[in-house]
Amino acid sequence: MRLRSPFGLLSALALALAVAFFVLPIVAIFADVSPARLVAALGEESAREALWLSLRTTAIAMAIVLVLGTPAAYLLGRRRFRGRAILITAIELPLVVPPAVAGIGLLAAFGPHGILGGAVHGAGAELVFETAGVVVALTFVSAPFYLRQAITAFGALDRRPLEAARTLGAGPFRAFATVALPTAREGLASGLALAWGRALGEFGATLLFAGSLPGVTQTAPLAIFAEFSRPGGFVAALALSAVLISVAAALLLATKLLGGVGSVGTEGAR
C-alpha cells in the first residue's frame, strides 16, 4: 500500500488518531504520578501484596486456560459438527456478560448454595473468599479471549501438513503437537496476551465471587479501588495504577515476542 495515495494518507491519519486515543489516558496517569511516588507505592506492603497476588492468580488462570482451552479450541476450530456454532457462542458468553453479573453467576454455580456448591465443598475446596475463587473468576472472564483467537488460528491451518504428518507415522496427538501448534503459535500467543491482559484488569467478578480480602483475594485492581476509601487514597490509587499498567504492558509484550508475533505473517507486506 503506497502511503502517498489519498487512501494511504487517510489510513495513516486514522492510525495516528487511534494510537493517540488509546495511549493518552495511560500517559495521563503517568503524568499525574511523580516517579518518587511510584517507587513509594511499590514500597507499601498492601500494594506489593496486591501485585503479587495478581501475578500469581493470573498466571495460574492462564495455565488453566492454555491446558484446557488449547485442545478444546483445536476441536472447535477444525471439526465441523452439529451444534458447533452454539457451542462457540456459549463459550463466548462471558464476553458479553457484565463482570458483576458474571460474579453472581459464579456464586450461583459454585457458591455454597450453588448448583455445584455441594460438589465443591465435598471435594474439600473453598472458593468464595479464597484465592482459588479469584483464579476461577479470572479463568471465567478471560478464557473466551484466548479461545476465540485459538479457534481462529487452528481453523486457518492448512490440513495438508497435518495429513502429511499422519502418513509419516504420527498419531493425531503428535501431529497436533509437532505440526499444528508451531504453525498456530502466533495466533495462540496473541490470544494468550489478550486473555492475560483481561485477567490482570479483572474487577467486578472477582469482587463478587471472591471478595476483597487483602493478601487473599484483593488483586491489584481491587486494591486500587479500595484506596479511594482511604485518606490520601486517590494519589495512592494512581500510583498503583501506573505500576499495574507497567507490569501488564511488560507481560503482554513478552508473551507476544515469545510467541513470535510480528516476525511472521508480513511476507506480503512492503
Residues at the contact surface with other proteins, assessed by CB under 8 A: 60, 63-64, 67, 100, 104, 107-108, 111-114, 117, 124-132, 135, 158, 160-161, 163-174, 177-179, 182-183, 185, 207-208, 211-213, 216-217, 225-226, 228-234, 267
The three grid cell numbers given for residue 8, joined into one nine-digit string: 494511504
Taken as a whole, the chain contains a residue count of: 270
Of residues 6 and 169, the one with the C-beta less far from other proteins: 169
Nearer to other proteins, 216 or 252 (CB): 216
Nearer to other proteins, 113 or 270 (CB): 113
Report in angstroms how near the CB of residue 210 gets to other proteins at its nearest.
9
Q: Which is nearer to other proteins, 200 or 226 (CB)?
A: 226
Beta carbon of residue 20, minimum distance to other proteins (angstroms, whole number)? 21
Nearer to other proteins by Cβ, of 8 and 98: the residue is: 98
List, as own/partner pairs, every contact residues 111-116 make where C-beta atoms lie below 8 angstroms and the sequence separation is at least 24, other chains included.
Answer: 111/209
Smallest separation, CB 222 to other proteins (Å): 9
The three state secondary structure string of the chain is: CCCCCHHHHHHHHHHHHHHHHHHHHHHHHHHHCCHHHHHHHHHCHHHHHHHHHHHHHHHHHHHHHHHHHHHHHHHHHHCCCCCHHHHHHHHHHHHHCCHHHHHHHHHHHHCCCCCCHHHHHHCCCCCCCCHHHHHHHHHHHHHHHHHHHHHHHHHCCCHHHHHHHHHCCCCHHHHHHHHHHHHHHHHHHHHHHHHHHHHHHCCHHHHHHHCCCCCCCCCHHHHHHHHCCCCCHHHHHHHHHHHHHHHHHHHHHHHHHHCCCCCCCCCCCC
Distance in Å, CB of 215 to other proteins, minimum: 9
**CB 14 to other proteins: min, Å:** 28
Smallest distance, Å, CB 255 to other proteins? 18
Burial pattern 123-140, b for ≥16 Cβ within 10 A else e, equals eeeebbebbbbbbbbbbb
Indicate the residue among 194 and 238 with the shorter CB distance to other proteins: 238
Q: How far apart are CA 211 and CA 223, in angstroms?
A: 11
Kindly tell me which of 155 and 161 has the beta carbon lying closer to other proteins: 161
Q: Report in angstroms how near the CB of residue 86 gets to other proteins at its nearest.
A: 27
Minimum CB–partner distance for residue 127 and other proteins (Å) = 7
Nearer Cβ to other proteins (61/193): 61
